[in-house]
Structure 1
Amino acid sequence: MSNYHVPVMLQECIEALDIKPGGTYVDVTFGGGGHSREILKHLGSDGRLIAFDQDADAQQNIPDDDRLTFVDQNFRYLKNFCRLHGAIPVDGILADLGVSSYQFDQAERGFSIRFDAELDMRMNQADTLSAKEVVNTYSEADLHRIFGIYGEIQNAKTLSKTIVTYRLNAPIVTVADLKNAIVNLIPRGKENKYLAQVFQALRIEVNQELEALKDFLMQSAEVLGTGGKLVVMSYHSLEDRLVKNFIAKGKFSGEVEKDLYGNDQKPFDAVSRGAITATDEEIVNNNRARSAKLRIAVKK
């Protein structure tokens, strides 16, 4: 498991869940199983853990424990599968939204700018849409949209036009092909940051990450019992903004809705005033913790 992924802010996440030995908990991003194993340590013999992960590779990390039920699905189907397994209401839900170190390190998965491989980026290998499909078939307008919104890339319009022009002569199949196609647009001295933004945009589109996150957050309010904890760790501003707004307002944009008496109509109260970040010590030992933001809420 340690080679798969070192869990970020492990103790902070466990403390935030405030685990009751006989409670029912959900880890919607099982990955290397680091958070799940720690949750199991705090559960008694009648406690339950439901773990979700759509990546088939994650299944090699499932511990042999009767208290754990593994669901090989995207967390956007949280409510359906918790209901299927008779696990509503639950006492706590944990989501670590980062791509695992393991996925980045598997060259053939096409997640990383460090390796040359086919442009893939599918979290779920059974899905049909890959990054290769996106760069070769999307219209210039659609590419402009995803690079501008999901990658927050300043020259998104030029980038999209460049890709569409390049693919007229040859398909963009590999990481190297994509780098070659856009080489003249990459700011000198900021190569890694720019490419990371391009790859982030493609990955979010391929996996429909923001739509899945919205579905999950809405369902979390229906799955958690009163007093249940929602613990979500995000790694970029797009995700964190959705989580922050949903906890504060019960929706993703606009103002919080009120009832006839002027009371806020929202399912959660924030436990921490702002986002919790990793300690300097953890960041030194695990660079992935640098951008992590942890938000905790309690079901009203």
Structure 2
Amino acid sequence: MSKEATPSRRLTPHSRRVLLALTSVFSPMFDICIIGHVTKDIIRIDGEITREIAGGTAIYSALALRSLGANVAVATKTAGDDRPFVNQELERWGITVFWQESEKTTIFENNYRRDNLDRRTQNVRAIADPFTVEDVAQIEAKIVHLGPLIQGDIPIDIISTIRDRNKFKTGQISLDAQGYLRRVDAAETVCPVDWKEKETGLQFVDILKVDRTEACLLSGCDRPEEAAKVLANLGVREVVITFGSGGSYIYTGDRGDRVPAFPPQEEVDPTGCGDTYIAGYLYQRLLGLQGREAGEFAARLATRKLEGFGPLKTGFDKK
């Protein structure tokens, strides 16, 4: 089966965007559907609360993709009282929401130091109900992007179900593996752990996004180049490893590309930069681009997000 959403590389960038827009109008599928919990995020820098905002992959990736013109859907779960909150953050921007009620809404507290925004500690104050196969049964998209935030968010049978449903279609599965590598301890602190079901889960994944620490944890390798090959051998077609201000590394099976980060005019809020990066990368994959070309676009998009608080919503130059 073909897994590529690839307009001819001979098309100009403008022509690719026009083709994407036309296929979005006439296709019954979404360009990208993101499955993940919309969260309430408390941002602390040097111990002081700077913002309390909506967060999670479902927010940061979806809004960045929508700002680029993609036809986006989000499958999410929150407490019933927070349903209007989801509407305000997503639906008013033209994003279709498949919402299910949960007993609680996930609440994250992200703690940074001003002198090193690449690193953070996290606490989880509340956890939403996990997704079920029934929650995502009707979703069809060219790319389904899975954004678990902690262990248990997205059970592995959801990944296999999406793959089985797309067996005779062109849909791809993208995964940000961070949630499978996070356990919440008794003190509500997020702790890194290996993903015990990775060999089963990764065989269904086309595009894998991890940061450097996550790549090493999953693969057992210290060097990103070696880690990417190990993860590719588990069945992943494209491995994207991010290093924050250190750039990224993209491995597509036959080659690896180092992509530099783009310096921001001002570092304001790093929360969601990884989600914004993968949004830019997936957008480029919809246009048929990959490797360094897709990575450079994604890096510029992530830098634009870093320069302001909250998700990137408008105003990015796609050239």
Same fold, TM-score > 0.5, yes or no: no
Write 1 or 2 for the structure with the bigger share of helix.
Answer: 1
Give me the TM-score of the superposition, normalised by structure 1. Answer: 0.35
Write 1 or 2 for the structure with the bigger share of strand.
Answer: 2
Larger radius of gyration: 1
Give me the TM-score of the superposition, normalised by structure 2. Answer: 0.33
